[in-house]
Amino acid sequence: MPAFPRFTPLISALPATVPFVGPEAIERNRGLTVKARIGANENGFGPAPSVIEAMCAAAGETWKYADPENFALKQALAAHLGCKPENIAVGEGIDSLLGLIVRMVIDPGLPVVTSFGAYPTFNFHVAGHGGRLVTVPYANDREDLDGLLEAVRRENAPLVYFANPDNPMGSWWDADSIVAFAGALPETCLMILDEAYCETGPAGAMPAIPALIDRPNIIRTRTFSKAYGMAGSRVGYAISTPETAQAFDKVRNHFGMNRIGVSAALAALKDQAYLSEVIGRIRGSRDRIAGIARANGLEPLASATNFVAIDCGRDGAHARSIVDGLMEHGVFIRMPGGAPLNRCIRVSTGPESDMRLLEEALPKVLKSL
């Protein structure tokens, strides 16, 4: 290791982790072409035409920085959600907000509770700030609320992360269970309730916004990347008490939001008719994926998200060979990282052309194994 530049001991000790290998890297590294991009839980149905129009209109203004206070977007989100603009912090996607939250509450060595095999970008941020991950296994393919609570109490943890609905399994808890979990948490523990997939879940899975908004130790994170179809625009937001929301101002990148993305988010909020239509298409696509899985003797798991986890009935190596085999046919999917979740593959919803490619390739891959 060269003496300069001098990195902190923490950074020097960290591996150069890439939490996700993107489809572009797979194309480059394996000389393959992605024909069906149904692995990253993006929304292949795309953003609303009105959103694309707003982005085109904003393109000529891109020489200007976006408003560092994100005033208009906070106003619009507050009106949409039924809370105050002060309850909202805006960031470059949930991923960026997760990093800021960890930075705000974690000193090196402090315990951070999450589920084993849950969203890996969170773990990446915890490692980057020197936190000590304490993981709780899933129970019946759902995040184990009792187990998470027990781990928080045992470790006296200042931070717990939980996604509802969940990635990578697509499972969910009902609103009452989430509210009960939040109520049982020690007030010394900050809870990140990641609601990246809130729009595609069943009615009743999401606590109403006022239910948790007065709790200083709860931050809910949401995004325009999934149902709104704007993953490349990097617009996310957090909902919390005004005091907690304000803390983001101490550490956030004030000019981090891109002007075209913010215009797109404003337009997307206005076009709720398109959102409803897309949610219908996502639900239809979930059924289509489940049908393809069953036709191939595999077991789809119920999903509240824009993807379906499919139990392939064996171990991680078997699921990996299906993921790799599908990519040979140009079908990009992913799979959960740790056992026993890694007996599954994970397929994002998408347009019928993508579903047909999956339908054609999957039996060929299974036969070849």
- Which residue ranges make up the site for ligand PLP (CB under 6 A)? 41, 93-95, 119, 163, 167, 194, 196, 223, 225, 231, 236
- Cβ-Cβ contacts under 8 Å for 80 (sequence gap 6 or more): 269
Least Å from the CB of residue 295 to ligand PLP: 27
Residue number closest to ligand PLP, CB atom = 93
Q: How far is the CB of 1 from ligand PLP (least distance, A)?
A: 32
Q: Position of tokens 């960890």?
A: 102
Q: Which is nearer to ligand PLP, 301 or 365 (CB)?
A: 301
Scanning the chain, the segments in alpha helix (DSSP H) are 9-13, 23-30, 49-59, 71-81, 93-105, 120-128, 145-155, 175-184, 209-212, 242-251, 259-270, 272-295, 316-328, 352-368
**Closest Cα to residue 116, out of 81, 147, 155?**
147
| Phi and psi angles of residue 29, each rounded to the nearest 5 degrees, phi first | -75, -30
- In the complex, the smallest distance separating the C-beta of residue 131 from ligand PLP, rounded to whole angstroms, is 18
User: At its nearest, how many Å lie between ligand PLP and the CB of residue 25?
Assistant: 17
What are the distances in angstroms from CA 186 to CA 70, 106, 132, 142, 152? 32, 16, 19, 22, 8
The minimum distance between CB 319 and ligand PLP, in angstroms, equals 18
Give the residue with the Cβ less far from ligand PLP, 217 or 225.
225
Nearer to ligand PLP, 114 or 225 (CB): 225
Give the residue with the Cβ less far from ligand PLP, 223 or 241: 223
Decide: helix, strand or coil at residue 71.
helix
Nearest in space to 231 (alpha carbons), one of 192, 205, 197, 277 = 197
By beta-carbon proximity to ligand PLP, the closer residue of 87 and 223 is: 223
Q: Count CB-CB contacts under 10 A for residue 139.
A: 12
- Residue closer to ligand PLP (CB basis): 159 or 365: 159
CB 43 → ligand PLP: shortest distance, Å? 11
